Copies of this chain bind each other. A is one copy, B any other.
């Protein structure tokens, strides 16, 4: 596996699945690259493991009401980014566990989407302090192997269009373990902002609530001499 450091790392991607933990993770972390690929015609599938149902400091939300709101926000953002289909695996925010049930849910998505490429959280980044992020990345990684085996949860293969897991590439985001790919997202940044702001429950003041994102992406951009960048680390698979 040669090291590819730019968009060419994704040249062969035709069907991409992004496994995140919360509604708004995809948008604020890698929406720029998602959008670039979507425009190129890549089929993009988004899976959030949790409902994001503790994600508020507002006293008026019940958990189901917040979850319901965030499902709608996810759909709105998906339309902006050209995501083909979104999935929510229904777990509770702040309590995601990388257990066999979650593994099977994600393996099912690999099979019914026939994704060739996975993006997910780096479960091995020791600076990752959100347990849901680690759990999502771990389960997504651990679903890779069994998804390829016909005797693993064979009923999943009965669903329309399902096939054996056929992921060929895995990339981690949210990592500082030597990310090897930096993507210039400057010219699609307006769309990234728009998709992120679709999560109104999270960013009530719009762009003002997203200064942290711009700062982080700007810092990444500096590494490759552009205004905004997103970064990835490729995982060796066999």
- By a beta-carbon cutoff of 8 Å, the part of chain A in contact with chain B is 51, 53-57, 59, 61-68, 71, 90, 93-95, 97, 99-100, 103, 108, 124, 126-127, 129-132, 141-142, 144-146, 149-152, 155-156, 158-160, 170, 177, 235-238
Contacts and interface: CB of A to CB of B under 8 A. Distances in A.
Given A97-B100, A131-B145, 14 more contacts: A54-B152, A62-B71, A63-B90, A64-B65, A65-B71, A94-B149, A94-B152, A95-B100, A129-B145, A132-B145, A155-B159, A158-B159, A158-B160, A160-B160
How many copies the complex holds: the figure is 6
A59, A97, A149, most chain B CB atoms within 10 A: A149
A59 B150 contact: yes
A155 B87 CA distance: 12
Contacts of A51: 64
A54 B235 CA distance: 24
A68, A126, A151, A159, most chain B CB atoms within 10 A: A151
Contacts of A99: 97
A103 B54 CA distance: 15
